[in-house]
Each structure stands twice: as C-alpha cells, then as structure tokens.
Amino acid sequence: MRLTKKRHACIRLEKDGRTLVVDPGNFSEEDAAVGADAVLVTHEHPDHFDEGRLRAALEAGPGAEIWTLRSVAEQLSAAFPGRVHTVGHGDAFTAAGFDVQVHGELHAVIHPDIPRITNVGYLLDGSLFHPGDAFTVPEHPVETLMLPLHAPWSKISEVIDYVREVKPRRAFDVHDALLADLARPIYDRHVGNLGGADHTRLAPGESTEL
C-alpha cells in the first residue's frame, strides 16, 4: 500500500487503485477525504471528524462510504442512507479493498474531570494500525504504527512506552499539528533512541510505499 501523510491525524492509503482515508478532521486539508472510496473516523473530536469534509467526500464520490463509531454516524447517516456504517471494538469488515479490524473503546484520559468518550482504532490489512486518540494495543502484531506524537492527553514518556508495548517494525508520526518545529528534534531523538522501532516523520503531502 501507499501511505500519504496529511496534516495532523489524517492519513491517506492507496492500494490496487482504491483509496482509504483515516481521520480527515479540521486540522487536515479541506480536500483530505475527497476522492476516497472509504473513510474511517476514530472519534468525534473536531481534529479527527469534520462534518463538512466528510459531506464533501460523500457528495463528490457517490460510491464513497464511511465507517465510524455511533456518535459520528448519527450525524451523517440520515443524509447518506446505506453509506455510513457504525462499528465498535471487535468488528471486522472490508473497506476499499482493505481488511479492517476495530480495536479499542475509549479516548485517552485528558483530565479526570473531563468525561471520556468512545474512540476506536483501525488495524488495516493486519499490518498498519491507527489508534486515534488512545494508546490502544491491538491483539495482533503491528508492522506499521501511526504514532500519536503530541497531544493534550500525553507526555513523551507515554509515547515512548506505547511504541515499546506495540513493538512495531516502524512508527510514523501523526497527531502532530500542535507540536512546534523547535520541539520536533527532541521528540525525534527520544522516540527514535528509546522506542525500539524505526521512527519516521513524513511532512504533510509526503508519501511512502509500505
């Protein structure tokens, strides 16, 4: 598959002429989901779910479909009947030719006073895992981890320990729009030296073959 990093938490995957997009939120490009055959959304926070971007993708592609958790699906299903699918932990399905397994149930703790919402992660083709906003460890080996590098709910020691626990062959940064360029070398050094995996950062729009 071909992986293209979009801004923040969004990625675009291409295989056999079909395209799947994960988490085209309001920090990602306006057209991040346009042209996708399938879109996966991990949770309802606006940096992962932007209703306007998803509506644009569904209107531009009559065959495009979305898989997501209930809180997001309820906002779109009436306007696009049969094209918005609700999923949860343990589900498995095929989207745009990718085999998808759903792992995880809750968003990471931001603060004890803030109620936790549902968050699901997606394991694609038994190889690439996007956890959304959580440190979910799938029940299956992961070759490529989309690593949430920087967030209000994490610190760098937790990011490093997450890579160690998942044990991927490689980790690519996501969830990085709020990280200042001045701090990136610090994160690159610590995650690269201590995580135990090949740690790589792609600039928005940059692609690689997996």
- When pLDDT is cut at 50, 70 and 90, the band that residue 165 belongs to is very high
**The CATH number of domain 2-209, selected from 3.60.15.10, 3.40.50.970, 3.20.20.80, 3.30.420.40:** 3.60.15.10
Rg (alpha carbons) of the chain, rounded to whole number: 16
Query: CA separation (Å) from 73 to 41, 66, 115?
Result: 9, 8, 20
Question: What is the maximal distance between C-alpha atoms in the chain?
Answer: 48
How much is the pLDDT for 8?
Answer: 98
- How far is it, in rounded angstroms, from Cα 62 to Cα 5? 25
- How far is it, in rounded angstroms, from Cα 100 to Cα 128? 10
Q: Where are the domains of the chain?
A: 2-209
Mean pLDDT of all residues in 30-56? 96
| Segment 13-31, tens digit of pLDDT | 999 999 999 999 999 999 9
Mean pLDDT of all residues in 74-93? 96
